[in-house]
Amino acid sequence: MTTYRLRVDPAIYATFPDYAGLAIYARGLHNGPSDAASLALLAEESAACRAAFGQNKAASHPNIVAWREAFARFGSKPSKYPCSPEALISRVLRGNDLPAINRVVDLYNAISVRYVLPIGGEDWDMLTSDGVLTFARGDEPFVELSGGVEETSYPDPGEVIWADSSGITCRRWNWRQCRRTRLTEATTNAYFILDSLPPFSQADLLAAGNDLAELLRGVSAGCAIEMELLRA
């Protein structure tokens, strides 16, 4: 049973002192294919998102403005590499519902759009050390699946990444996750990272975490969930 945890390199706080993260550790999940309940939730949150944004673009939202500024600070062009909620919301505002991936991924994507908040989920059992939010050296491998083929790339030095001893688990803070730690239908133990920058409040960060935890318990009776603020 894995006991690895998530932590933040102090250098991140030196550059982004207002960053706050919430980790959710879940054991005993019952994941599986997207089902009627998760599809209904995706449709509901997609409709609510379109109603809330109206004719406005995702990039106009204050939460996303903050992430665009953060990405630009570490040299990542936000129009090319949007933060995760901007990518999801932009899809929805083009008239598409949130994508159905699997039951657990559907849940956290729905909460991400509800709160306009970056949320990522990974298979806890696939970590090979503690996961660390840090600045890249540039030699950390990132393996993703592209067109059914594994591709390995490397970050620019100074890029914000999540990584363990085997390489990058997520590039550009919350832009794209790797193949190794992705949540599959067979995942039973997972961790989730909720990222926030002002104007997003700690109260809302905890509310989003509680909403996600409630949904996870709803599909995984008896699962054990622990929440930990990565920055109080």
pLDDT in tens, the chain (232 residues): 789 999 999 999 999 999 999 999 999 999 999 999 999 999 999 999 999 999 999 999 999 999 999 999 999 999 999 999 999 999 999 999 999 999 999 999 999 999 999 999 999 999 999 999 999 999 999 999 888 889 999 999 999 999 999 999 999 999 999 999 999 999 999 999 999 999 999 999 999 999 999 999 999 999 999 999 996 4
Per the document, the length of the chain is: 232
* pLDDT value of residue 232: 43
Nearby residues of 160 by Cβ (< 8 Å), 6 or more positions away: 12, 70, 74, 76, 133, 134, 135, 136, 172, 173
Report domain extents, the chain: 6-229
Long-range CB contacts for residues 112-116, cutoff 8 Å, separation at least 24: 112/84, 112/85, 112/88, 113/45, 113/46, 113/49, 113/85, 113/88, 113/89, 114/45, 114/48, 114/49, 114/208, 114/211, 115/200, 115/204, 115/207, 115/208, 115/211, 116/61, 116/63, 116/64, 116/85, 116/89
Half-sphere exposure of 3 (CA within 13 A, CB side): 0
The candidate with the shortest Cα–Cα distance to 121, out of 67, 195, 181, is 181
Task: Give residue for tokens 């995942």.
Answer: 187
Model-level pTM? 0.96
* pLDDT value of residue 148: 81
* pLDDT value of residue 47: 99
- C-alpha span between 38 and 169 (Å, rounded): 25
CATH 3.50.40.10 applies to domain 6-229: yes
